[in-house]
A and B are shown apart, each in its own frame.
Chain A
Amino acid sequence: MTGKDFDIIVVGGGHAGVEAALAGVRMNRKVALVSMDAAKLALMSCNPAIGGIGKSQLVKEVDALGGIMGVAIDVTGIQFRRLNLSRGPAVWSTRAQADRRAYTRFISDFVANQRNLTVIEAIAGEVLTENGRTAGIKTEDGQILTAPAVILATGTFLGGLIHIGETKIPSGRMGEKAAYQLSDSLRKLGFEVGRLKTGTPPRLDGDTIDWDKCELQPGEVPIPFFSYRSLYREFEQTPCYLTHTTAATKALIIAHHKRSPIFSGQISSTGPRYCPSIEDKFFRFADKDTHHIFLEPEGNGTNEIYPNGFSTALPEDIQIKAVKTIVGLEDVKVTRPGYAIEYDYCPAYQLKPSLESKRLPGLFFAGQINGTSGYEEAAAQGIMAGINAVLYLEKEPSFILDRSEAYIGVMVDDLVTRSTTEPYRMFTSRAEYRLTLREDNARDRLFEYAQKYKLIETQHYNSFKELQKNTLEEIKHLGKITLSVNTLEGFKERFSRSRTVNLKNLLKMPGIDIETLLPLIEKHNGSFSANPEVLQRAAIFIRYQGYIDKQAREIEKFKKLESEKIPDDFPFASLKGVRIEAREKLRRYRPVSLGQASRLEGVTPGDIAVLSVMLKKHKGDRK
C-alpha cells in the first residue's frame, strides 16, 4: 500500500493501547496512537495498584517481552509487597500501590519521547477497509488516517454509560467523553458486539479518616520490584490500611438497594463475580455481616483514598451515608462518588489466537474490548496485538504463546475459545501448568522470543544467559554440599535412615527453603558465597523439579494436539459424525488446531476423535 500515513494505528491510550503502540515502535514500525488526551495515557481508572495474584505473572511476562508496565510501576510505585509468601514460589505474586498521577505522567512522557510514535488526540469513529482488508480509521471529527493494520484497544469507552443511582451519564470514564460511532462501524462490518458492566468505589479524603481505628498494612522490605531492568532503590513506603463494614452498613444498603441500577433493572449486563459491588455482596452472601475494606492511597501528594471492596452504584447521597458506617470512616468526606459503567465489547471468539479478527484481516483487538478486566490483562493483550500487527505487515507467522508457556497464552486461549459471561480476570487456578508458569521464570520462558522479535536489548539477553548458566552450576554445586543430619535442628526427625544429606535433596523437602538453610550452612560449613539471585533461582528450580518433569509429560501430550492444525478452509459445516451442538460450536469458533477445538465448551472427546479422522481425510484428499 502506498501513501499510507502509518504502519499501525492503535485506537485507545490505555494499558493495552500503550503496550501495543510501544511494541510496534520497538519493532521499527511507524505507529499512531489515537487517544482523547495525550497527557492521560495508561490512566488507572479504577484501583491504583498493579499486580496481584495471577496478574503479577502477566506483568512479568509483559516485562520479559520488553513491555513498559513493570518499569513504570517500579518507578512510580509507593508500596510493594508479595502476596502468598507463606505458599510456594509458584504462586508468589507481587503487588504494588501506584502513585496514580505519576504513573500516567511517566508513561505519557515515555510515549511522547518515542520517535516513530505519534499521539493523535481524537475519537475513532469508523474502521476503514479496502478490498476486504483493514485500511485505516476515520475519526469522529472526520479525519482520515490510513494504515494497513489497526489495533482497537478502547477500554470502557466504547458506548460507555455510567450509572449512579437513577442517573445515567454517557461517558467512558467519569468526566470524559465516550466513543459511540465505532460500535456501529464494527456492527456494520459484521462483528457481534455485546455489553459488559464493571464498577468503581467512591474516593475518600484521607485527612478525614480516623486511621487509628484501622489496621496498618506496611510494604515489604527489601522492596520487591517488578522489572529485571529496575535498579534497586529504597524509599519510605506508604502504608495501606484495613477496616470493615458494620451492621449499620448492611442495614443501610439493604434498605436502599432498590435504588441501585444493578437491582432496579436499569443495568442488565453482567459484572464480574470476583469484584462485586457492595450491594451485591450483601445479597449474594446474606449470612455475612461485615466485609473487609482496604484503604489504599492514590499517590503521594494527594490525600485521596481508594476504598477497595466498596464498589457501588447507589445514589450519591446513600453512598455518602453508607461509607460513614465503615469503621474509621465515621466523619469521612467523599471526594468522588462510585459508579457502575456499562460498555461495549466484541466477544473474542471472533479473534484468532494472534488477536487479529477472523473477519477482517489487519484489524486487531486488545484489552477490555475483548471482555477482560484489569490493567495487567489489557497490557498483556496489547503487547501481543502490537507484535502480531507487525508480523502481519511482514507476512510472518503470528506470535502465539500456548497455555504451557505463559499466563498470556492461557488468557488468550481462554478468550478465543470460551464464551464471555463476565469480564475475564486472570487467576492462577486458570493455568493448568501453574507450577511451570511462575513470576520468577518469566524470562526463562519468554526471553528467546523477545530476542527473536528484537523486543529487548541484546545486553539484557546476554546477561540473562549468564544468569541461567550460573543457576545450572549452582544447582550442581548444591548437590555436592552435604550436611550432617545432626546439625539440622528442627528437621532431624525427618531423616531416620541417613546421616548426611546434600543441600539439593534438602531443598526438595516441604517447609525448607534457602532462607532457613543459609544460617545452618554458614554455621557448619563456614561461609557460603553465592549470588543471592542465583541461589534463589536454583532453590526454586530444585523445589519444583519433580513436578515440572511430571507436567512436562502432560505438556508434551498437550502440544501434540496443539500441533494438529486445522486448515482455514476446513468445512466444519459439512462435518458428519459429531453431535449437532458440537458442530455449531466448531462452526462458530473455527478452531485453528485440534487442541483448541478440544477446549471448546460442548465439544466432547468423541467429537474430537471424529474431527481428527476427518482432518486426516481432508488433508489426504487435498494432496
Chain B
Amino acid sequence: MSFWEKIYLPAVLNGMRITFSHLFRKKATIRYPETKREFAEIYRGQHVLKRDEEGRERCTACGLCAVACPAEAIIMVADERKPGEENLYREEKYASVYEINMLRCIFCGLCEEACPKEAIFLTKKIVASDYERDGFIYGKDKLLEPLDPEKRIDISKRETKEVLEFKKDKSKKHNQ
C-alpha cells in the first residue's frame, strides 16, 4: 500500500463525499398507503374464477390447473350439473368446491396456462395479509367473479395475441 492508502484518510474522506452526495438523491421509498407503485397490466396477483358472458361459471372441474400447479396449491371437488342449473354452470360438470391455498401459491400463472376453459386468471389484486393460516385458503366465495356485469374483472390484458385471435373464430366449440 502506498503512504496515502496506509493513512486511510483520503479514502475515508472520499467515502464521506460519496455518502454525502446521496443525501440529495431522489429517494427510492414509496410511501405505501398514500402512493402506490404502478402495477404492470399483466401483474400476477390473486386469482379470479371467470364467468362467461351469460354469467355462468366457466370452470368444469377438469383438474388440469391442479395438475399443472407446481406448488400443489389447488384442490377442487367436482359435481354434476342438475337440470335447471344451466344458467349457473356452463358445462355439465362443475366445481362445487374450488380452493387455492394462497400461502402455497407462487403466482407462476401455470394454472391459467393449463386451463382449457379460460376459467382461471391471475389479476392485479394483491392477496391481503391475515392473522390465521386458514384465512389464506381462498374458496369460491373469494375467487369467483361477481355476477354484476359492472363489477366484472377485466383479464383481457393477460390473454396473449394468439388467444385473442383464436377467440374470434366462432366455428370452434370453445368460443360458442
A, B in one complex: no
Contact surface of A with B, Cβ cutoff 8 Å: none
Contact surface of B with A, Cβ cutoff 8 Å: none
